[in-house]
Amino acid sequence: MTCRSARSRRARVLSGAALALALLSIAAPASAGTEEPAGDEPASEETINARLIDQRGKQDKPVEGVTVVVEQGGDEIGQAESDADGLAIIPVPGPGKYSVRVDPTTFPKGLGLTDAAQEELPNVQVFAGRPKFVIFGFGERLDTGKTGFERVLNLAASGLRVGLIVAVAAVGLSLVFGTTGLINFAHGELLTFGGVVAWYLSASDGGLGITLVVAGILAVILGAGFGAALERGVWRPLRGRRVGNISLLVVSIGLALFLRNFIQVIFGSSPRPYEQYATQDPWHIGPIDILPKNAIAIVICVVVLVTVALLLLRTRLGTALRAVTDNAELSESSGIDVQRVIMAAWISCGALAALAGVLLGVTQSVDWDMGENFLLLIFAAMIVGGLGSPFGAMVGGMVLGVAFEASTYWVPVDFKKAMYLGALIIVLLVRPQGILGVRERVG
Amino acid sequence: MDFGKIFSDGVREALGVNAAAYALAAIGLNVQYGLTGLLNFGQVGFLLVGAYGTAITVKETGAPLWAGFLVGILAAIGLAAVLGIPTLRLRADYLAIVTIASAEILRVLAGSRHLEGFTGGPFGIRGWAGSFYDLNPFSPGRYGAGKVSFDHNTLWVMTVAWTLVILASVLVWLLKRSPYGRVLRSIREDEDAARSLGKNAYVIKIQSLAVGGVIGALGGMVIAVNFQFTNDDFWLSPFTFLMYTVLIIGGVGSVIGPVLGAMLFWFVYQSLDSLLRQAIHEGVFGDVLTSTDAGPLRLAFVGLTLMLLMIYRPQGIFGNRQEALIDDR
Amino acid sequence: MSADATTNGAILQARGMRRAFGGLVAVDVESFSVMRGSITALIGPNGAGKTTLFNVLTGFERADHGEWTFDDRDVSGWPAYRIARAGMVRTFQIPKALARMSVLENMKLAAQTQRGEGFFPALLRRLWCDEEARIEARGVELLEWVGLAKQRDDYAGTLSGGQRKLLELGRALMTNPRLVMLDEPTAGVNPALTEQLLDRIRSVRDEGATVLFVEHDMDVVGSISDRVICMAQGSVIAEGTAAEVVADPQVIDAYLGERHGEAAMPTSEGPT
């Protein structure tokens, strides 16, 4: 309806895009909350506010005098130079998608973008009636003097980080799938839960101001509790009612929609980083430049994955988990408390997902749909590795992460998602049991 | 609070183009999921190829719009073949993952800057549906009663869209009561049993995917024609989940279910939006909620509805309760 | 012995069938045949490969190698639906009733070459209306025959296990098969119903079809089968009349081996 009155002006003009976005956001939860009642608000409040910050020191400093250009469909909409606060404000004609780039010839001496691929942000979404903030982070010029091979190595290192985080999340999903057969579409929200909880615990403004390491650990514990609560409050009763797996899958979709949008109401729709460790100087390890927080994230993931693997292989509970995954009925009749094992799977799942969420928050930022954005990648990791096999999920996550981050050296970044999903489909077709899975016997 | 406005807002959306497009998408899903048991989680991909097939054909070749529609339909059949031929031999839940992944791939490609010359990238394709409005038989002005009124162009799109909804519903009704429909349901119940009785389940599943996909593609065309525009943001994956919500509200497997489900969905969805905005505007929630929260709040409500329906009323409004109670394994 | 059996009297003949899962050989059958017009029982201890053999023969599972003919036609590797259409119809160990369809619909589905099952003809009722009436009449007739006439409009999902077995039998016969393959038709069926079921199976043969069935209950086997084939560890180890097979030392050893929890393959000496 917002569109109805505007529609009469017949949308052959620019606002067509805006209208489309506004109405279709109804169809598309990811951009929800963007529509505004027509007429209630002035039409052209929208601006793109670019903030340029120098992240070299302990404290961020503004970067002044850099030209920021806004374009749409190849036409320049406007440009501005960053002021003493590092801020460049460019008015735009209305909501819609714009591309924002910085002009490297205007950079101060010795400064470069911390991520050279971010020189142009192609898909900046401006919502009605609100300024849109984008951030360009500056640091030492890193890419200078690197050979192609070294850049691939750096990409692979960041792929390893993403892959390991995905692997951590995928192990949790896999444990639950293995023990219950549930394909949980609300798994992404478990990640978001972890990331958001840690944000609230650690933020000094709007949160409790707990130091991030402690906040992260608390978030993981609360994530475990959240997993347990979902199992106790939702999934176990439904299994008790003998609801089929397909129906449960649909329930999990409803749960995901609910949680995700509920989190958005509370947390808001703009991404927020953690205050601590937001800016760091990179370590130089051979040809690889890596931020300390990213290196530590990799170490944490490896430690956690190895621990989980050992727990699964060496402990009674781990053995029971694997037995239930193998054959729940047989395990039940041989005296394993299946409900308890499933509860253990959910607790681990919640904790691992929350950890993945916190690590994503540390290495990127916290966002209400961060989990949803990773969900298909997590599914892909689980399936590529072997459905229901936690070890497969670990392998799948790492393989996908490294392969596809490294591939961005040759392939445009915006194809990356298409590529891992394509790989997922090919694996399903060629080797449906996954890399580590065993072909199941039919009949 | 203006309850008249809340009500009329809801009615307007229940009759509007969006409800018709959702109805088409859900009718398509009903053929696939409701009748045949195929878990197509990428229905939005069929809408996408319908819209883009039309838009690209008209924009690139200058072909008339009807030729674009034809290409959109053929593209949906092609997508069904590409998805179905390799996957329909695999486990049922694999189809869910392959379809959702494929729909997302299509969306990523449609929005990619590297294909901008072809798909318009993130800026989409506009200005190709003008000839549709040239055929508009309604003279300019507003039509309707009281607060529920539409301009002549919207009315024209609505007329065509609801006609398509009726035609699609008749098609589903004819199929459902026929021996063909019986074969579809047998595959939903137990594919192996159907095969053991001489039914070529594989081919019929591909047909079902294609029929439902084409009906979905019509929904995509309706949406795109309504805006005379399409870009990647139209076709996000969660859209498919809303279609499932519509189908489950109406009643899985029932002929009229998806249509009334879509109308009810939009009535509630829009009224809720209106209600929330008014309440927030009047400060009912104090500082707790702002007007930007209305969108996510009503989506959270949709999610909750989907969960509760699935648990407590799986047959929806028009589905068969007895049928829904039989264990679906 | 099996070479003699594969004369022109066989409706189903198989040679060199093999199916393995990973390292486990489920079926490894040199030669296998079913005589036309007979009731043949397929017996053997658990895990002998009977169901897998069924699955392979009817196209539900791929054979690693081997070929088989049905009615003198080579049907090796055919997909399940084509084998069923050729007249070789099976039932399942756990009956696959189409739960959310009525009992009568279950029957009607099974009729072969229905015009209304084509997508386009389905849209024109005129094209299949008469055919549908004939199918319904036949379905009702068969339901009376298996004793489910009263349940014709119930959902098949509401039937008991034994009733589902009867429904599956009726449904299989609805296809007008020349060979009916029943996987444990009496499992889970109460004794009163079992008698009725065996009766029905006999009359299927008397009306000219051939029956092959998997069975555990030796009383059932003895009472209705013309021939018995015994499998163990994937292979056919004995073949003949019920009395002959039961007396076969290899058969006894196979069952004893099962009882001991391992397969002790026999030497030549056997108990009396």
d(CA A211, CA A205): 13
| C-beta atoms of B196 and C96 within 8 A | yes
Minimal CA–CA distance to B216: which of B49, B52, B55? B49
Phi then psi dihedrals of residue B186, to 5 deg: -65, -35
- Label residue A382 left, alpha or beta by phi (over 0 means left) and psi (-120 to 50 means alpha): alpha
Q: What's the sign of the alpha-carbon dihedral A89, A94, A96, A98?
A: negative
Q: Do C52 and A443 touch (CB under 8 A)?
A: yes
Identity (one letter) of the amino acid at B121?
G
The whole domain housing B77 covers 3-234
Residue C257: φ, ψ to 5°: -55, -40
Q: What letters, b where the CB count within 10 A reaches 16 and e where it falls short, cover C58-90? A: bbbbebeebebbbeeeebbebebbebbbbbbbb
Which band of pLDDT confidence, cut at 50, 70 and 90, is reported for residue A261? very high
In angstroms, rounded to a whole number, what is the distance separating the alpha carbons of residues C12 and C38?
11
Query: How many distinct helices (H) and strands (E) make up chain C?
Result: 11, 10
**B242 in a structural domain:** no
pLDDT at C3: 42
Instruction: Give the pLDDT score at C258.
Output: 56
Half-sphere CA count of B13, side-chain side, radius 13 A: 24
Of the pLDDT bands very low, low, confident and very high (cuts 50, 70, 90), residue C149 is very high
For A331-353, how does the pLDDT look when each residue is reduced to its tens digit (9 = 90+)?
888 888 999 999 999 999 999 99
**Per-residue pLDDT reduced to its tens digit, A427-441:** 877 777 776 665 544
Q: What is the pLDDT of residues B38-71, one digit of tens each?
A: 999 999 999 999 999 999 999 989 899 999 999 9
As for the ipTM of the complex, it is: 0.89
**What is the number of domains present in chain B?**
1
**C-chain residues within 8 Å CB-CB of A441?**
21
Q: Which residues in chain A have their CB less than 8 angstroms from residue B305's CB?
A: 254
Query: Residue A62 — left, alpha, or beta (φ > 0 → left; ψ -120 to 50 → alpha)?
Result: beta
Question: What is the CA angle A238-B296-A32, rounded to 5?
Answer: 120
Q: Which of A158-162, A236-240, B21-25, B95-99 has the highest mean pLDDT?
A: B21-25
Task: Say yes or no: B134 contacts chain A, CB-CB below 8 A.
Answer: no
Residue A437: predicted pLDDT? 63
Residue A244: its chain C contacts at CB < 8 A? none
Residue count of chain A, please give it: 443
Render pLDDT for C17-37 as a digit per residue (tens, 0 to 9): 999 887 788 899 999 999 999
Q: Which residues contact B276 (CB under 8 A, 6 or more apart)?
A: B289, B293, B294, B297, B298
Alpha-carbon distance of B314 to B328, in angstroms, equals 11
Return the SS3 of A324. helix
* pLDDT tens per residue, range C187-213: 878 888 888 888 889 999 999 999 999
CA-to-CA distance for B260 and B268, rounded, in angstroms?
12
d(CA B122, CA B120): 6
* Cβ <8 Å between B236 and A254: no
Longest dimension (CA), chain B: 65
Q: What is residue A17's predicted lDDT score, i.e. its pLDDT?
A: 40
**Numbered ranges of CATH 2.60.40.10 in chain A:** 47-144
Q: Give the mean pLDDT of A284-306.
A: 89
CB-CB contact of A19 with A11 (8 Å): yes
Which of chain A's residues have a Cβ under 8 Å away from the Cβ of B109?
A: 415, 418
Q: Is the pLDDT of residue A19 over 70?
A: no
Nearest CB among A8, A30, A123 relative to B151 is that of A8
pLDDT value of residue A339:
92
Hey, what are C249's tokens? 């030392």
Within 204-223 of B, beta carbons closer than 8 Å to A belong to 223
Is CATH 3.10.180.10 correct for C2-96+177-259? no
Between the alpha carbon of residue C175 and those of residues A38, C89, C131, C184, C210, the distances in Å are 64, 8, 14, 20, 14
On whether the CB atoms of residues B94 and B101 are closer than 8 A, the answer is: no
Mean pLDDT of A261-277: 88
- Return the CATH number of A150-274+287-430, one of 1.10.10, 3.40.50, 1.10.3470, 1.20.1460: 1.10.3470
Amino acid at C192: A
**Where do the domains of chain C lie?**
2-96+177-259, 98-158
Percentage of residues of chain C with pLDDT beyond 90: 62
Say which CATH superfamily domain A47-144 falls into. Immunoglobulins (2.60.40.10)
Chain A CA closest to residue B16: A1
User: Is A10 within 8 Å of chain B by CB?
Assistant: yes
Residue C1 Cα, gap to closest chain A Cα (Å)? 31
Distances (CA, A) of A247 to B244, B324, C181: 11, 11, 34
Alpha-carbon dihedral sign for residues B72, B78, B83, B84: positive
Question: Between A59 and C5, where is the model more confident?
Answer: A59
SS3 category, C179: strand
- Cβ–Cβ contact A425 with B under 8 A: yes
- Chain A residues near residue B314 by CB distance under 8 angstroms: 247
H-helix or E-strand containing A221? Answer: helix A212-230
**pLDDT for residue C131 is more than 90:** yes
Pairing of strands A61-62, A87-91: unpaired
Please enumerate in sequence order all residues whose Cβ is within 8 A of that of A62, keeping only pairs 6 or more positions apart, or say none: A51, A52, A53, A54, A82, A83, A84, A85, A86, A87
CA angle, residues A283, A374, A419, in degrees to nearest 5: 90
Please report the pLDDT score of residue A103 as a whole number.
83
- The percentage of chain A sitting over the pLDDT mark of 70, rounded to a whole number, equals 85
Model confidence pLDDT, tens digit, residues A106-124: 888 777 777 666 777 877 8
Q: Which of A131, A96, A29, A70 is nearest to B231 (CA)?
A: A96
pLDDT tens for A160-211 read 999 999 999 999 999 999 899 888 999 999 999 999 999 999 988 888 889 9
DSSP string, A338-389: HHHHHHHHHHHHHHHHHHHHHHHHHHS-B-TTHHHHHHHHHHHHHHHH-TT-
What is the structure's pLDDT at A142?
54
Q: What sign does the CA torsion over B137, B139, B144, B147 have?
A: positive
Q: Closest CB to C84: pick one of B196, B207, B322.
A: B196
- List the single range of A20-24, A186-190, B6-10, B271-275 with lowest mean pLDDT: A20-24
Distance separating alpha carbons of residues B269 and B310, to the nearest angstrom: 18
pLDDT of residue A443: 32
Tokens linked to B89: 């031999």
Residues 276-305 of B with CB under 8 A from A: 277, 289, 291-297, 299-300, 302-305
Kindly state whether A19 is in contact with chain B, defined as any CB-CB distance less than 8 angstroms.
Answer: yes
What is chain A's mean pLDDT, rounded? 81
Domain with CATH 1.10.3470 in chain A: 150-274+287-430
Looking at the complex, does the CB of residue C227 fall below 8 Å from at least one CB of chain B? no
